[in-house]
Structure 1
């Protein structure tokens, strides 16, 4: 499974976990049962994304909330919330992934899973996060 596929599956898992309050293990078992392709799949990046996002969710939600203009985490579309959490995890905890890659992947995920307004919204929130992070690194 390549990184794009892993991110797509991660959004689906984070969405499922958010909606059902299932554990990461239960969500993964459901995914593996559903996705019964015969080839061996490397799920290490997928697991890292999902487990890391869930483990750091309170911190991630607090950071995202700072950039939501007129919105709260609870008011966000469920899929947009999952995409933002995943991208924020990458930005905050996976320094080996360039911010530009994370932003691009999040916008592509929003195009795939979100509404017509999702890509612009996701890009705006994450770009604001990235700009402030860059300013913090310059000091």
Structure 2
């Protein structure tokens, strides 16, 4: 008989946890893309090789990593009216978070707008500057009012 305890079974991550991991990895990969200018295909390959992504929604990771750069100009124009500074003056993390949130608000309609904003705020809290989550919240809230007006009105019973 062995004195060592039986190995603990790791519980399978929930879909929410897997999507949160996908957004986290996507943010880091998009930051790398913004800074390095390397191709997203190369960055995706590097991330898949260098990280344990077993608890990650890989389809969402790939969708964000490829979709954000492909739509960056449109995404930037969608939230730029709500900025209090020039786009070039944004912190690179804030910019990546805003792009992810904007992409989800515009292109992933199945995700409720409150979830998109909450997930973006959480990314900003983990990776951004001290108060960046408040800024991200304000910008995405205003964008949601524009691009998800029907959903917001339905929630309010209008």
TM-score (norm 2): 0.79
In our comparison, the structure showing a higher alpha carbon Rg is 2
* Separation (CA, whole Å) in 1 of partners of 2:58 and 2:111: 17
- Which of 48, 53, 57 does residue 32 from structure 1 map onto? 48
* Separation (CA, whole Å) in 2 of partners of 1:66 and 1:136: 20
Q: Which has the higher contact order (CA 8 A, sep 6+)?
A: 1
Q: Unaligned regions of 5+ residues in structure 1, if any? A: none
* Separation (CA, whole Å) in 2 of partners of 1:136 and 1:90: 16
- Which of 66, 70, 82 does residue 51 from structure 1 map onto? 66
Other-structure match for 1:104: 118
Superposed CA offset, 1:75-105 (max 9, x none): 0000000000000000011111110000000
- Which of 140, 143, 149 does residue 126 from structure 1 map onto? 140
Moved over 2 A (4+): 37-42, 132-138
* Number of positions where the alignment pairs a residue of Structure 1 with one of Structure 2: 136
TM-score (norm 1): 0.89
| Structural RMSD (CA) | 2.0
Is residue 68 of structure 1 aligned with residue 68 of structure 2? no
